[in-house]
Structures are given as structure tokens and as C-alpha cells.
Amino acid sequence: MNWDFSNTEELLKLCNENDMPISEVMINREMQLGETRRDTIIDRIEANLRVMNTAVDRPISEPHRSMGGLIGGEAKKLNELDESKAICGPAIHRAIVNALAVAETNASMGVIVAAPTAGSAGVLPAVLMSMYESYDISLDDMRRGLINAGAIGYIITRNGSVAGAEAGCQAEVGSASAMAASALVEMLGGTPEQCCDAASVALSNLLGLACDPVRGLVEVPCQTRNAIGAVGAYTAAELALAGVGPHIPLDEMIQITYDVGRSLPESLRETAKGGCAVAPSLCAECSREAAWQRARAHL
């Protein structure tokens, strides 16, 4: 039996033929190609969950200023927001806090799990941990969720891109959002098709998102982008679970995202030459060189 798949269509075929969720097919693929045992994979996924958990927690108890000095303390601030003002509701509120927290951990040289990248590392922990805190979700559900997300991330990496420098932030936070959306659906008992639907909607909702890090650092707007990636995942998952959409199958959506990404101007692909990176108030002279010099002077 060959467990390898290269796109969503093949993945769904394996799921349906074997009556398995996406995570199970992904575990089988990993066991086969990596010549690994199941418990080794499960242990490693759990270890990654633990890293995510710490990355979420630390900025609340121990906020750190980032290396570049643009962020630090945002998660704590939001965590202390009066309940009457946390208008997104408990689960989404937690997701946003968590996303900001992981972005801070990353920017202050803490340990994170790149998922799929360091810049977008906040999205999955944000969604997984907020679900755990707010709903009746077990550790096993979380493991499955993360493995499911890995399957979607793998398909995107293989057929598209997860690099901001190549295809913009839609490739980083967009992909993370798609992965998290699919994970949510599986954790809530949705079908493999619904998982892919959720991922497709999440991608289409962030289509065209520029990569424009201020001063070339993974701080602003990356931190709040992680929050929107997480919130977008919740939205897409809810839509898919209700059977709404998508209008475009995931494989097509991945190709579309990739094409849009490569057609973004170079200034919007991690070069810090466009978008938020050249906001006049953040970058007086708007030349790349000036921005670097300021970043250095700042330290």
C-alpha cells in the first residue's frame, strides 16, 4: 500500500478508500516514507505541542522586548483587557492573545515551532491552545489537529510556496491559516472534504496579502498578522462545518495563491521596500538603507 500523496485530490482519495481522517493518512505516510514508528511520530508531535505551549505562555508571565525593539508586551496587555471589551468572545480572544504571544516569543529569540515558518509560527498554537482552553478538546485531538495541519502544509509546500520572500505573506500566514482551519475541522469531527474546504476558504480570504516587514524584521506587521491568521482559521472552519463554500477546490486555490504570490511586486516580498515597511511614520526616509541604520542605532 502506497501512502504517499502529492495533492489534495490524492489525499482525499486515500482518506475515503480507507475511511480515515487526514491525520491518519498523514501518519501512515510518515511511517512509510520516514521508516518511523507511530509512537515516535506521536511523541515528536507532542513535544512540538509542548514547545508551542511554552511559547504561548511565556510572554504573559514574562514579557520580553523583541530583538529589533518594535514589539514586546502586547500579549500581556491584551490578556489584561477588561472582559466587557473582549468583544471577539472567549475562544477568539484567547486565540488572538496566543498569536501575539508566540510572535513575541519568536521576535525575542525564544523557542518556537516553525509552522510552516517562524514568521507565521503563532497561528497554529493560537488556534490549538485556544480550542483546548475554551472547548472540550483532548490532548489526542490536539495531536491529530497538528498532524492534519502538517498534511495541508505539506501539500502547499509541495505545490506552492510557504516563503514570504517568494510569494508574500499569503504564503506564510495564509498557509498557516489554511492549516489551522483544516486542523480545527478535524478536531471538531468534520470530514476530510470539509477540512480541505476550510483550508481553501482560509487561503482565499488572505489572497494577495503582502509581505512587508518593517525594517526587515519579523515584528511589525507580522505579530498582528498571526492574530488574523488564527481568526481567519476559525471563520473558515465554521463555514466549512456548516457546509458553506468553498467555491474553489483546495488544489486550485493553492495554485492560485502561488500564482498571485509570484506576481506580487518584489517590494512586497520580504524586501522591506513596500507596504507597511515604508509607512512614513515608521520609516522617515523610506529607503531601505535608512531603515537598517535606524534598526542598528536602536540597539
Partner 1 sequence: MANNYLGLFDVIGPVMVGPSSSHTSGAATIAWMARQIFSGTPVKAEFTLYGSFAETYKGHGTDRALIGGMLGYKSNDVRIRNAYYEARKNWLKVDFVVDKETHVSHPNTVDIVITGEDGHTLLIRGESIGGGRVRIRKINDIEVDFTGEYSTMIIGHQDVAGTVAYITTCLAGEDVNVATLKLFREGRGMKAVTVVETDSSISEELKEKILQYETVTSVDLIEI
Q: Which one of ligand SF4, partner 1, none interacts with residue 164, CB within 5 to 8 A by kind? A: ligand SF4
Which among 261, 8, 14 has a CA at the least distance from the CA of 151? 8
C-beta separation of 99 from 230 below 8 A: yes
**With 0-12 CB in 10 A as exposed, 13-18 as middle and 19+ as buried, what is 179?**
buried
Rounded CA separation 270/276 (Å): 11
Residue 89 CB coordination number (10 Å): 11
Segment 236 to 275, residues that bind ligand SF4, using CB under 6 A? 270
Of 172, 186, 197, 251, the residue at the interface with ligand SF4 (CB under 6 A) is 172
The angle at the Cα of 179, spanning 50 to 222, to the nearest 5 degrees, equals 80
Is 21 a binding residue for partner 1 by CB under 8 A? The answer is no
Binding mask 76-115 for ligand SF4 (x = CB under 6 A): ----------------------------------------
Report the nearest approach of partner 1 to the CB of residue 270 (Å): 10
CB of 227 vs ligand SF4, minimal distance in Å: 11
CB 207 within 8 A of CB 264: no
63 near partner 1, judged by CB under 8 A: no
Q: Which of 21, 63, 72, 153 binds partner 1 (CB under 8 A)?
A: 153
154 sits near partner 1 (criterion: CB under 8 A) = yes
Out of ligand SF4, partner 1, none, what residue 190 binds, judged by CB under 5 to 8 A for its kind, is: none
Q: Closest separation between CB of residue 209 and ligand SF4, Å?
A: 7
CB atoms inside a 10 Å sphere around CB 149: 32
With a CB cutoff of 8 Å and minimum separation 6, the contacts of 107 are 66, 67, 68, 70, 71, 72, 217, 218, 219, 222, 223
Query: Is 24:79 a contact under the CB 8 Å cutoff?
Result: no
Q: Which residues bind ligand SF4 (CB under 6 A)?
A: 119-120, 164, 169, 172-173, 211-213, 218, 222, 225, 270
Residues that bind partner 1 (CB under 8 A): 26, 29-30, 33-35, 41, 44-45, 47-48, 51, 66-69, 105-119, 121, 124, 146-147, 149-151, 153-154, 157-158, 162-163, 165, 179, 215-219, 288, 292, 295-296, 299
